Amino acid sequence: MKHFDVIIIGGGPSGYTAAIYLGRSTLSVLVLAGAQPGGQLIFTTEVENYPGFEKGILGPDLMMAMEAQAKRFGAEVLYSQATKVDLLGTVKKVWVGDTEYRSRVVIVSTGASSKMIGIGEDKYIGRGVSTCAVCDAAFYKGKKTFVVGGGDAAMEDTLALTKFAAEVTIIHRRDEFRASKIMQKRVLENPKVKVVWNSEVLEINGDPVVSSIKVKNIKTEKVETFPADGVFVAIGHVPTTTIFEGKLELDEKGFLLITQTALMSGTKWRVSDKDIWKDGYPTMTSVEGVFGCGDVVDYRYKQAVTAAGMGCQAALDADKYLMEHASKY
């Protein structure tokens, strides 16, 4: 059985950033990057908003570079998914099938996936379907675009698109939005925005890129086809936390709670608001020695750069924790 200082579960920008920092700190690191390593960026084409790449970089290239950088500092990377964890006590145990790995610290960076409508839209990702307008709106200059959803993310995507697209039409399944009133107001007052209420997207069509969508009014059952260049799906996210259920505290939507987010949301936590900086581990989860970072924690921003930043925070906390608790091992 192999023993590491740190096991990082998840191979997206947060996990690899944590691996780079901890590897440079001469700790032994195992990254369980999952069967499809690279996180959400693997499904992205051009990334234009990650600092340092003036001309942009392809999502998979960015992830390969992060992985190579982590390996340069000694991280061992396995393209496997953790299947079981035992995180209590000073020795953390993580299994991949029947193989057990042990460590002193675990960092959870398993990410979140965008909820999809489920009409086969995945095949158009990067070819007219997007789950991130902040990332992709600029590619739709003068185009006909649609946003699906009625929450704050849908409003934010709509506003991002109005800066570039010729038209933005929101398709929402009910007759009112759940988004905050201020976001709704901004959206509804924008002359580029139309809303198709009480409706669902039945089909997305086009070859090889999106050219039309078929929409059904749930109340009248009327079906209409609209010409479309882009469809932005903004119906929420599902954090990857199933193997941590009952082991680490999660919020009501399944996102991993860390000290910072728990205290912000008023959750009863093992340290008080006042102690957060004294305790010194804002990224520690409900279990000692286990830290969280990236989209699995972040229900709000979900950007590669914010995930990388959180990976750095978790690594610095983990490093500090290992130094302060060295006598335990």
Write out the catalytic residue numbers.
132, 135-136
Contact criterion met (CB below 8 Å) for 294 and 13: yes
Residue holding tokens 């953790």? 82
Binding segment toward ligand NAP, per CB under 6 A, in 92-100, 123-131, 147-155, 189-197: 147-155
Residue 113 has which token pair? 């996936």
Q: Where are the alpha helices (DSSP H) in the chain?
A: 13-24, 59-72, 133-136, 152-162, 181-188, 259-264, 276-279, 304-324
Closest-approach residue to ligand NAP (CB): 151
Residue 153 found at the interface with ligand NAP (CB under 6 A): yes
- d(CA 108, CA 285) in angstroms, rounded, equals 9
Binding segment toward ligand NAP, per CB under 6 A, in 55-63, 97-105, 171-179, 256-264: 171-179
Partner residues linked to 34 by β-bridges: none
- d(CA 143, CA 239) in angstroms, rounded, equals 32
Residue 167 found at the interface with ligand NAP (CB under 6 A): no
Binding segment toward ligand NAP, per CB under 6 A, in 55-63, 124-132, 146-154, 223-231: 146-154
Binding segment toward ligand NAP, per CB under 6 A, in 149-157, 217-225, 277-285, 317-325: 149-157
User: Residues binding ligand NAP: what is the number (CB under 6 A)?
Assistant: 19
Measured from the CB of residue 231, what is the shortest distance to ligand NAP in angstroms?
12
Measured from the CB of residue 310, what is the shortest distance to ligand NAP in angstroms?
16
Cis omega (within 30 of 0) on the bond before 51? Answer: no
* Binding track over 83-122 against ligand NAP, x by CB under 6 A: --------------------------------x-x-----
- d(CA 136, CA 42) in angstroms, rounded, equals 15
Binding segment toward ligand NAP, per CB under 6 A, in 78-86, 148-156, 224-232, 272-280: 148-156
Residue 150 found at the interface with ligand NAP (CB under 6 A): yes
Contact criterion met (CB below 8 Å) for 291 and 248: no
- Phi/psi at 321 (5° precision): -60, -45
Residue 178 found at the interface with ligand NAP (CB under 6 A): yes
User: Binding to ligand NAP (CB under 6 A): which residues in 219-278?
Assistant: 234-236
User: Binding to ligand NAP (CB under 6 A): which residues in 298-317?
Assistant: 299-300
Q: Which helix (H) or strand (E) holds 214?
A: strand 212-217
Q: Which is nearer to ligand NAP, 11 or 150 (CB)?
A: 150
Q: Which is nearer to ligand NAP, 89 or 120 (CB)?
A: 120
Residue 328 found at the interface with ligand NAP (CB under 6 A): no
Residue 206 found at the interface with ligand NAP (CB under 6 A): no
Residue 279 found at the interface with ligand NAP (CB under 6 A): no
- d(CA 299, CA 197) in angstroms, rounded, equals 26
Please, which residues have CB within 8 angstroms of residue 12's CB and are 6 or more apart in sequence? 38, 39, 40, 41, 63, 109, 111, 294, 295, 307
Among 74, 89, 113, residue whose Cα is nearest residue 241? 113
List residues near ligand NAP by CB under 6 A: 115, 117, 148-154, 156, 173-174, 178, 183, 234-236, 299-300
